[in-house]
Amino acid sequence: METVAVVWTAAVAAAGLIYWFVWVMGSAEVKGKRAVDLKMGSITRDKVQDKYKQYWSFFRRPKETAVASSENVPAFVDTFYNLVTDIYEWGWGQSFHFSPSIPGRSHRDATRIHEERVADLIGARPGQRVLDVGCGVGGPMRAIAARSGADVVGITINEYQVGRARAHNKKSGLDALCEVVCGNFLQMPFPDASFDGAYSIEATCHAPRLEDVYAEIHRVLKPGSLYVSYEWVTTALYRADDPDHVDAIHGIERGDALPGLRAHDEIAAIARKVGFEVLDQRDLARPPAGPWWTRLKMGRIAYWRNHLLVSALAFLRIAPKGVVEVHEMLYETARHLTRGGETGIFTPMHMILCRKPPLTPNAEDGNPQESSS
């Protein structure tokens, strides 16, 4: 009888452990996705490994890719988000970006505060129509809509993310304020001067040429409207002749579908080139802000736990073949991101606040024209 009791106790403990690993640690309420529900976006199960290999081959040399095959970058960015969206939701949450850590506050609180700053910077308010450029599954969109009361329209190149974002919007009760469309932010399906404000959070780094996406944002904004972006850039501490620096930056580029990171001192000039006025720019990661990479370092134990779980799910054919390789890629990328943060050579939150010049009357014929001030 004692043996039977021991066996039953062990079985119950094992069942509880499996439940904790799979459902609690991957709760859709907290993380956005359960481990047993991991997919690879709209890629069919039998094509995941092939798509991963194609992606890795394309982004093997990011800067060369940007020059030689820039027209193919959007398609491979789409592939990247098919591969990683569910893993991001499961392991990170519904907001695919970093935020400065805040003593005594949770990661979720720090993320929300970082997002709400966007709403404040562009002065979003009820009755306005605001554009989210590269919205992912809509975490920032919902935070900004909830804070400001503005109508937020998000655009993402990935059709799978559109479905995820719409489901989250409805579940949160914000679907009346939040709209999502599938499209390329280099050629947006919106009329000229149709938005009262715009923002992008760690998204325009996927553009081969930043001026192309900035020009599109400038086009769809109404005169006098504000645009704020959090950009991924190398800082003044980066040295192109330091092999360790180069290795870290290339690792970030390869693992995040980036056709070459830009330098911090390029951003404002590009914004002015397409017609924006630059009102402010600064690195939001600089002190007194807490380190944004802390969450990545704290996640190493979680990585091994998740790696074992993903491997088991793939072995049992619950998760598609290739998911283990994608998970390993993201862990390796997290290592490079941490190095970039600790050395100070990289920031994911170089903030630039811009304004599309307001219209001014033409002195000769009375027709309104954009101010050149």
Per residue in 101-117, pLDDT (tens digit) is 999 999 999 999 999 99
Question: What is the spatial distance between Cα 313 and Cα 34, in angstroms, rounded to a whole number?
Answer: 12
Question: Which has more confidence, 218 or 306?
Answer: 218
The confidence score (pLDDT) of residue 369 equals 62
Percentage of the chain beyond pLDDT 70 is: 84
128-166 burial, b at 16+ Cβ within 10 Å, e below that, comes to: bbbbbbbbbbbbbbbbbbbbbebbbbbbbbbebbbebbb
Question: What is the spatial distance between Cα 326 and Cα 315, in angstroms, rounded to a whole number?
Answer: 15
Cis peptide before 288 (omega within 30 of 0): yes
Alpha helices in 181-315 (DSSP H): 210-220, 243-255, 267-273, 294-298, 300-315
Distance of alpha carbon 38 from the chain centroid: 19
The confidence score (pLDDT) of residue 363 equals 41
pLDDT in tens, 283-341: 999 999 999 999 887 656 777 777 788 888 888 888 888 888 999 999 999 999 999 99
Instruction: Please provide residue 144's backbone torsions phi and psi, each rounded to the nearest 5 degrees.
Output: -75, -40
Residue of 293, 336, 264 lying closest to 99 (CA atoms): 293
Query: CA torsion angle for 82, 85, 91, 93 (degrees, to 10)?
Result: 180
The confidence score (pLDDT) of residue 41 equals 87
Helix (H, G, I), strand (E, B) or coil at 217: helix
159-168, 173-182, 300-309: least confident range: 300-309
Helix (H, G, I), strand (E, B) or coil at 297: helix
The confidence score (pLDDT) of residue 366 equals 53
The confidence score (pLDDT) of residue 373 equals 46
The confidence score (pLDDT) of residue 203 equals 98
Q: What is the mean pLDDT of the chain?
A: 88
The confidence score (pLDDT) of residue 308 equals 83
Q: How confident is the model at residue 14 (pLDDT cuts 50, 70, 90)?
A: low
Assess whether pLDDT exceeds 70 at residue 26: no
Query: CA torsion angle for 62, 67, 69, 72 (degrees, to 10)?
Result: 70
Average pLDDT over residues 92-106: 94
DSSP 8-state symbol, 151: E
Average pLDDT over residues 170-187: 97
Question: What is the spatial distance between Cα 281 and Cα 328, in angstroms, rounded to a whole number?
Answer: 35
Q: Which residues share a beta bridge with 179? A: 153
Average pLDDT over residues 69-91: 92
Q: What are the residues whose beta carbons fall under 8 Å from the beta carbon of 25, sequence distance 6 or more? A: 31, 35, 305, 306
Average pLDDT over residues 173-182: 98
The confidence score (pLDDT) of residue 201 equals 98
Q: What are the residues whose beta carbons fall under 8 Å from the beta carbon of 87, sequence distance 6 or more? A: 38, 323, 326, 327, 330
Q: What are the residues whose beta carbons fall under 8 Å from the beta carbon of 317, sequence distance 6 or more? A: none
The confidence score (pLDDT) of residue 372 equals 52
The confidence score (pLDDT) of residue 30 equals 45
The confidence score (pLDDT) of residue 199 equals 98
Q: How confident is the model at residue 11 (pLDDT cuts 50, 70, 90)?
A: low
Question: Which has more confidence, 142 or 359?
Answer: 142
Predicted structure pTM score: 0.88
